[in-house]
Amino acid sequence: MDRKSSLDDAKSEAEFDEFADDYDTALNKGLSLTGESKDYFAEGRMRWLKGRLERRGFVPDQALDFGCGTGGSTRWFFDILGSKALSGIDPSEESLEVARREHSGYPATFRLPEENGDPGTCDLAFCNGVFHHIPIADRAAAVDSVFRSLRPGGIFAFWENNAWNPATRYVMSRVPFDRDAILLFPHGARALLRDGGFEILGTDYLFVFPRGLAAFRRFEPMLCKLPLGGQYLVLARKPGV
């Protein structure tokens, strides 16, 4: 991987520093309209991803959280996916300090992009809501960074907020660090990943029903191919063994 990762170019190092200590509060304020906290969505993403990986007999021992922020997904890599080691990278040193402090009990390292480890060693790369903060001109370079971090046959779980969903847009308008984000439509995300050398394995949409309609959530697996959910997952694979 290029020692100065494009993630540094994607977000200024100070952009999220000011939110590091209050990140959860700001995010939960926006998500309160759904009736759920950030942990509900973090766990839901990982449980859905686990199902997709298990269908392929894929075990992600070494994982990368690209744009890890304060480490909100960390515990789920271990508790749900069963990963053995996690590398989280982010350009916000203040956010990394929070991640180190709050997740010290896990076999995880949190580093700046230029401190990232050897390329071609990760089984799974993961990002959630990162690319809508990356300037459009820098997104291809960010994909290339992820591509080079993966071993041949490694998988990239690309989670983004669904631009087709008006409720998602409204929730983002209530979150200070999301208000000016440039969303990616799913077809644009797939094209971006293909252009970066990935094979597209599939696209799923998740989080259709808010807590007030939780009784209908059992139908969400049947709706996962319709662009209704608040987020979508593009699962992609680096060609190779």
- Selection from 46, 94, 87 nearest residue 70 by Cα: 94
In a domain, 1, yes or no: no
Exposure string for 42-59, b = 16+ CB within 10 A, e = fewer: bebbbebbbebbeeeebe
Residue predicted with more confidence, 86 or 25: 86
| Non-local CB neighbours of 39 within 8 Å, separated by 6+ positions | 72
pLDDT of residue 28: 56
In a domain, 68, yes or no: yes
pLDDT at 3 over 50: no
Read off the pLDDT of residues 55-72 as tens digits, 9 standing for 90 and up: 999 999 999 999 999 999
Count the domains in the chain.
1
- What CATH code is carried by the domain that includes residue 143? 3.40.50.150
Residue predicted with more confidence, 185 or 5: 185
Task: Tell me the residue range of the domain where 179 lies.
Answer: 6-237
Q: What's the token pair of residue 190?
A: 């797939």
pLDDT at 20 over 70: no
Give the predicted TM-score (pTM) of the model.
Answer: 0.89
In angstroms, the CA 73 to CA 45 distance is 9
In a domain, 135, yes or no: yes
